[in-house]
A and B are shown apart, each in its own frame.
Chain A
């Protein structure tokens, strides 16, 4: 997994609630094995209802051509479990999302890909959103995960909370699967125990037993 320590760059305001995975990375009418995830990012939000390009959509604006931080509202990433909705962010360089609340599966998918999900305290969040909107892509924000801060272009500092467990995962870029495989003995012991106690859980074709 990708580690996350620091990030510097432009913050994109998409301050809406319930931005869902169908918006972030639509499945498309003919999904492919090798997608261009950058092209997928907000693909349908980039056009108007009539299908023509929407110059008003924030990610179409030239100052946000190289985004680093996405700033959104409540329940960001609701909808599907598909991880492409995180890969699409990473593909354009977005490694941090600031939102009021994240959908559960989406948040986990962020952590799995070295994307930092930040929730600010409610009062700070209002100030931060206003700052990002006012800045409009002019300056650089910087994120320091170890210090748990985001600093605005003018030096405004915002401190955020993150569960220590998630912080460590991101900072160290740990290989989750490798870690679990170190506990293979425990898994085997569990399997043996259940095979005796509740054999129907350990055999898919239990009817044939």
Chain B
């Protein structure tokens, strides 16, 4: 029978059916982080349960450490960050390897897992973090989960779940200059809404997806959760296989050939049917930016804020609140608004190509007076690679701060945050009220618009700054 890629991976990972009717789906790789691991470890210990597969489980240190140059594992008071200490202790007790601050594999878990070859096409992956879906860019089925589900996976290496519906989002057309994966994602969310994919897993397909570099596919899948979908993925192709080949944990030699033969079957059958199938035209797509307080409140850089007065009555209050929070007048052009902070980082947009785009714009320019601009690589490897290419110099010469890999200002859990009323251009994934600090105003953008704002001090159409061609 014709099957979608989602069905193929799901079905091949079903261990059995629970008495309550849910499937038990096997998890191939499980990565923890310090915000949730400590609670799960202590609940597990209390119940006297062991970790079933410590060899398939890893602990990442990403949410809490400072990203300032020369940082340690201490907080501002000089104490070891308590969540970090608790995760280290629990990991040690359970025989789980920690990718700690000084390790070559350190970084944001969603950046590290693909780059070391931990996540492979056709595999399942779980992280107690909603952006686990990032690694869907390699053709893996990834689940963000809560703390109790995390504990369940630790004890059983399975997740209990009912198979969701399948949705396909086909993206066609050639993007306009300076538009990339982030812009496609924001475009999708603005069309289908932040709950548009709820109850579904999404497969991204179409010419515009095929044309994306692997890092861009990771960016696109990263934002599946902002579409309301628990996960998103892209069928792997030769570009994927090439990208994975030779990574430290990837199969090699005869094992690689064997794996590759099975990976080649990882696509939706041409006659497979989806519960929902939509097409979005990305022809000449311009760089996108959010104007409001959810990722769906986005439009092209040439856009103007909506006018609540002309919106349907039931939407009016929400629009007014969003504009008020963001300090934007109804109908106001987004271009030209003064910017106080720029953050280039996070599991969305802090891989090497993201930093290269930003560096192209920063090169030979200066961060505008009064702008605080921070670049935080997504992993220690991205940082090493960027430094080998001299990107750190480009950024530092321009007046950016060049940080140490971590989530940093994405959620502010490490203490990096914006101030009340500050306008921030951020390459992250959530522009919710207060996300980047109480009262801070976040606009989500790709690295190009972020860098352009940093060097001009205002929201700027990068195409005008750099000329039309990317």
Residues in A lying within 8 Å of B, measured CB to CB? 1, 16-18, 20, 22-23, 26-33, 44, 47, 49-51, 74-75, 78-84, 86, 101, 103-105, 108-109, 112-113, 165, 168-169, 174, 176-177, 179-181, 183-184, 186-187, 190-191, 194, 198-207, 209
Is B434's CB under 8 angstroms from A26's CB?
A: yes
* Known contacts A29-B415, A79-B130, A187-B52; is-contact A200 B251 (Cβ 8 Å): yes
Contact among A26, A27, A83, A183 with B16 in the assembled complex (CB-CB below 8 Å): A183
Contact among B82, B117, B199 with A104 in the assembled complex (CB-CB below 8 Å): B199
Contact among B120, B149, B251, B433 with A22 in the assembled complex (CB-CB below 8 Å): B433
Contact among B35, B162, B164 with A27 in the assembled complex (CB-CB below 8 Å): B35
* Known contacts A201-B28, A204-B29; is-contact A181 B156 (Cβ 8 Å): yes
Would you list 11 pairs from A and B whose C-beta atoms are within 8 A, ordered by A residue? A18-B194, A20-B294, A27-B413, A49-B439, A81-B144, A81-B146, A180-B160, A187-B156, A191-B26, A191-B157, A204-B55
Is A113's CB under 8 angstroms from B432's CB?
A: no
User: In the bound complex, how far is the Cα of B16 from the Cα of A26, in angstroms?
Assistant: 37
* Known contacts A33-B82, A74-B195; is-contact A180 B20 (Cβ 8 Å): no
Across-interface contacts of A104 in B (CB, < 8 A)? 164, 198-199, 228-230
Is B194's CB under 8 angstroms from A207's CB?
A: no
Min CB–CB distance A75 → chain B (angstroms): 4
Is B82's CB under 8 angstroms from A209's CB?
A: no
Ranked 3 nearest A-B pairs via Cβ:
A75-B195, A112-B148, A83-B146
Q: Does B243 contact A (CB under 8 A)?
A: no
Min CB–CB distance B319 → chain A (angstroms): 11
* Known contacts A104-B199, A180-B18; is-contact A78 B148 (Cβ 8 Å): no
Across-interface contacts of B412 in A (CB, < 8 A)? 27, 29
Q: How many residues of B are in contact with the other chain, CB < 8 A?
A: 84
Is A81's CB under 8 angstroms from B145's CB?
A: yes
Is A18's CB under 8 angstroms from B195's CB?
A: yes
Task: Name the residue on A nearest B118 (C-beta).
Answer: A204
Min CB–CB distance A177 → chain B (angstroms): 5
1/0 contact string of B36-60 vs chain A (CB within 8 Å): 1010000000010100100110100
Contact among A22, A169, A207 with B252 in the assembled complex (CB-CB below 8 Å): A207
Across-interface contacts of A79 in B (CB, < 8 A)? 130, 430, 432
Min CB–CB distance A78 → chain B (angstroms): 6
Is A113's CB under 8 angstroms from B148's CB?
A: yes
* Known contacts A198-B259, A201-B28; is-contact A16 B157 (Cβ 8 Å): no
Q: Does B72 contact A (CB under 8 A)?
A: no
Min CB–CB distance B78 → chain A (angstroms): 14
Across-interface contacts of B123 in A (CB, < 8 A)? 201
* Known contacts A51-B438, A187-B157; is-contact A177 B49 (Cβ 8 Å): yes
Q: Does B134 contact A (CB under 8 A)?
A: no
Min CB–CB distance B97 → chain A (angstroms): 9
* Known contacts A109-B146, A198-B262; is-contact A180 B152 (Cβ 8 Å): yes
Q: Does B325 contact A (CB under 8 A)?
A: yes
Residues in B lying within 8 Å of A, measured CB to CB? 15-16, 18-22, 24, 26, 28-29, 35-36, 38, 47, 49, 52, 55-56, 58, 63-64, 75, 82-83, 86, 117-118, 120, 123, 128-130, 132, 144-149, 151-152, 155-158, 160-162, 164, 194-195, 198-199, 228-230, 248-252, 255, 258-259, 262, 294, 318, 324-325, 411-413, 415, 417, 420, 430, 432-435, 437-439
User: In the bound complex, how far is the Cα of B118 from the Cα of A8, in angstroms?
Assistant: 49
* Known contacts A33-B38, A165-B22, A179-B19; is-contact A187 B147 (Cβ 8 Å): no
* Known contacts A22-B433, A179-B19, A207-B117; is-contact A51 B148 (Cβ 8 Å): no
Max chain A CB contacts within 10 Å: which of B144, B252, B417, B434? B434
Is B147's CB under 8 angstroms from A83's CB?
A: yes
Max chain B CB contacts within 10 Å: which of A26, A83, A174? A83
Is A177's CB under 8 angstroms from B16's CB?
A: no
Is B248's CB under 8 angstroms from A207's CB?
A: yes
Is B64's CB under 8 angstroms from A31's CB?
A: yes
Contact among A16, A26, A184, A194 with B318 in the assembled complex (CB-CB below 8 Å): A16
User: In the bound complex, how far is the Cα of B431 from the Cα of A92, in angstroms?
Assistant: 27
Is A201's CB under 8 angstroms from B120's CB?
A: yes
Across-interface contacts of B432 in A (CB, < 8 A)? 20, 22-23, 79
Across-interface contacts of A31 in B (CB, < 8 A)? 35, 63-64, 83, 413
Across-interface contacts of B437 in A (CB, < 8 A)? 29
Min CB–CB distance A26 → chain B (angstroms): 6
Across-interface contacts of A23 in B (CB, < 8 A)? 432-434
* Known contacts A105-B146, A180-B18; is-contact A75 B128 (Cβ 8 Å): no
Is A205's CB under 8 angstroms from B249's CB?
A: yes
Min CB–CB distance A48 → chain B (angstroms): 10
Is B148's CB under 8 angstroms from A83's CB?
A: yes
Task: Name the residue on B nearest A184 (C-beta).
Answer: B156
Is A204's CB under 8 angstroms from B195's CB?
A: no
Name 14 extra pairs, CB < 8 A, besides A29-B415, A33-B38. A20-B430, A27-B412, A49-B324, A81-B129, A81-B146, A83-B147, A177-B156, A183-B24, A187-B158, A190-B16, A200-B258, A206-B249, A207-B117, A207-B249
User: In the bound complex, how far is the Cα of B249 from the Cα of A29, in angstroms?
Assistant: 35
Across-interface contacts of B20 in A (CB, < 8 A)? 165, 168-169, 174, 179
Is B433's CB under 8 angstroms from A187's CB?
A: no
Across-interface contacts of A22 in B (CB, < 8 A)? 430, 432-435
Is B146's CB under 8 angstroms from A204's CB?
A: no
Contact among A33, A101, A206 with B198 in the assembled complex (CB-CB below 8 Å): A101
Across-interface contacts of B198 in A (CB, < 8 A)? 75, 101, 103-104
Contact among B55, B58, B149, B411 with A108 in the assembled complex (CB-CB below 8 Å): B149
User: In the bound complex, how far is the Cα of B19 from the Cα of A174, in angstroms?
Assistant: 11
Task: Name the residue on B nearest A113 (C-beta).
Answer: B148
Min CB–CB distance A154 → chain B (angstroms): 26
Min CB–CB distance B59 → chain A (angstroms): 13
Min CB–CB distance A150 → chain B (angstroms): 23
Min CB–CB distance A74 → chain B (angstroms): 6
Across-interface contacts of A47 in B (CB, < 8 A)? 438
